[in-house]
Structure formats: structure tokens, C-alpha cells
Amino acid sequence: MTGFVALRLALSCLFILMGIASAHTGPAALEYPSEKPSVDSGLEIYMHNCAGCHGEKGDGLGKVDFTDHVYMINRNSSEFFEVVNDGTMNMPSFVNISKPQKWDSVAYVWTFWADRPSAMRGKNIFEKNCASCHGMKGDGSGLPGAFDFTNLSNTIANAQASIYFDSVSNGVPNTAMPPWKSTLSEKERWDSVKYVWTFQFRDYPVSSQAIPQVTTPITSPATPLEIPSAGKGWYNTPVGAAILIISLMMLAGIIYLFMKGVFER
């Protein structure tokens, strides 16, 4: 009997340890915004902070081209957010932009791929063929078990459009999700996936209004060079430099007096 108790105790300790380990390494660390990201707000942030390197059309950097279909369909919003939030060797981490604003800038990045004409065609296809299960708003209200595409952390921010396209084409075995390969053309299937993608944003313009335009002029695409790690130390400011020079002079004086004392002895 006591053997059992000891075993159970050891097992629960093990599970607690495993829980702690996974809590520290799992994707739970990612902070999802409380409100869905805004393309509108993202446009402003993008033009001021990102366009300098990535280009106003999203194709400014050779290997990272937001208009490149194959590149985009294998990425997701969570990954993009992490890169924008943490920065990379060649990209600053933007200490002056809040986390929800970083999500907004990521939302805008997707518009280079899920362009408005495709998404609008997709909307028609979706409302005719898919909304009965997925709900007009993509929240899965039509059928229990159909995905809620408006829930970032649960599904869509971690999904890849390439996988969605696969599911739309071939269906999802053992679920109500039917294959559309023989009913919809390849282009129609991509358009519907692009429209589904827009459910993760709160204001993607798929109705009469146009893609929002920049309302304030781009101040300086030179902001890119505000790399925080190479940022200003106190010694890089005028006051800091003055203090540094004065201390060095005083140190030199002390050394001079000390040496003088030594030699005069």
C-alpha cells in the first residue's frame, strides 16, 4: 500500500515538473491582443516604421517579400508578431510601439498577400458555400465543431494558408468539412482561403470602402536605424560625454600628482 502511495507521489511530482517545463517553453508566452488587430491602424504604423526597409508595397527586401505567394502561405501571424516584437539581427524590436500596435502592423502585412480583389471574390464564394457551417462572420456559428476563425490564439494566428487550402481542396476526413476540389477552381479556392484569413482582423475592407490610404505623410523612413541594442548609452549624450571627459581629466590630474609625489620623494 505504502509503495503505491510513494509511486503516486513520485508520479505527481514528475507531472508537476513537466508542467513547469512546458509552461516555460510552450507557445503560451505569446501575448494575443484583447481586440482583433486593425488593418487601418496597421497601415499607419507600417508606413512610419516598416516601409523604409520593407517597401510601401511590401516587396522591399529580396528574401522577405510580402507579395510572394509561396512565402506568405507558409507563415502565420504568431510568427510574424514574434519577429516584430523581438527584432532580429537586421530588424529593430521597436521599443516605442505597443504590442497591440505590433499586431496591427502584422495585420497590414497580410494585405499584401490577401489583396482586396481576391478577398472580395472570396467573400462571395464563402457566403454561398461555406457560411452555412462557418457562419457569415467566420465564427463557426453555423455548425458546432466548425472552426472559429475569429479566435486568434485558438486557430487562425497559428494556421498556415497552405494547410487551409489543402483542407478546402480535399476536405478534412472524419469531419463535416467537405472537399471542394471538384466544385471550385483553384483560383476560387485560394480566394476563399484569403477571405477566411481576413476574419482575424477587425476591419479588413472587403465591402464598398477601399483599402485605407495613408492620411499623414511618411516622416522619415530613416526610423529603421533606431536599433535599440545599438541605442544611446548615457555616455552617448552631451551631458554624459561632458561627465566622462571631466572624470578622465580629474583622473589624469590625480595620477600626475601621485607620480610627482613618488618621484619627488
Binding stretches for ligand HEC (CB under 6 A): 45-46, 49-50, 52-54, 61, 64, 75, 79-80, 83-84, 88-91, 94, 105-106, 109, 126, 129-130, 132-134, 143, 145-147, 159, 163-164, 167-168, 172, 175-178, 180, 192, 196, 224
Q: Provide the minimum distance between the beta carbon of 209 and ligand HEC in the complex, in angstroms, as a whole number.
A: 23
Nearer Cβ to ligand HEC, position 86 or 245?
86
Nearer Cβ to ligand HEC, position 61 or 211?
61
Burial of residue 248 (CB within 10 Å: 0-12, 13-18, 19+) is exposed
Nearer Cβ to ligand HEC, position 129 or 153?
129
| Residue 164 near residue 193 (C-beta atoms within 8 A) | yes
Q: Provide the minimum distance between the beta carbon of 89 and ligand HEC in the complex, in angstroms, as a whole number.
A: 5
Q: Give the residue among 45, 176, 60 at the shortest CA–CA distance from 112.
A: 60
The radius of gyration computed from the CA coordinates of the chain, to the nearest angstrom, equals: 27
Listed in sequence order, the residues at least 6 apart from 102 whose beta carbon sits closer than 8 Å to its beta carbon are: 45, 81, 84, 85, 94
Rounded CA gap, 254 and 263, in Å? 14
Q: Provide the minimum distance between the beta carbon of 69 and ligand HEC in the complex, in angstroms, as a whole number.
A: 14
Q: Provide the minimum distance between the beta carbon of 184 and ligand HEC in the complex, in angstroms, as a whole number.
A: 6
Q: One-letter amino acid identity for 70?
A: V
Q: One-letter amino acid identity for 126?
A: F
Nearer Cβ to ligand HEC, position 2 or 182?
182
Nearer Cβ to ligand HEC, position 6 or 172?
172
Burial of residue 232 (CB within 10 Å: 0-12, 13-18, 19+) is exposed
Q: Provide the minimum distance between the beta carbon of 98 and ligand HEC in the complex, in angstroms, as a whole number.
A: 11
Q: Provide the minimum distance between the beta carbon of 249 and ligand HEC in the complex, in angstroms, as a whole number.
A: 38
b/e per residue 13-35 (b: at least 16 CB within 10 A): eeeeeeeeeeeeeeeeeeebbee
Nearer Cβ to ligand HEC, position 172 or 251?
172
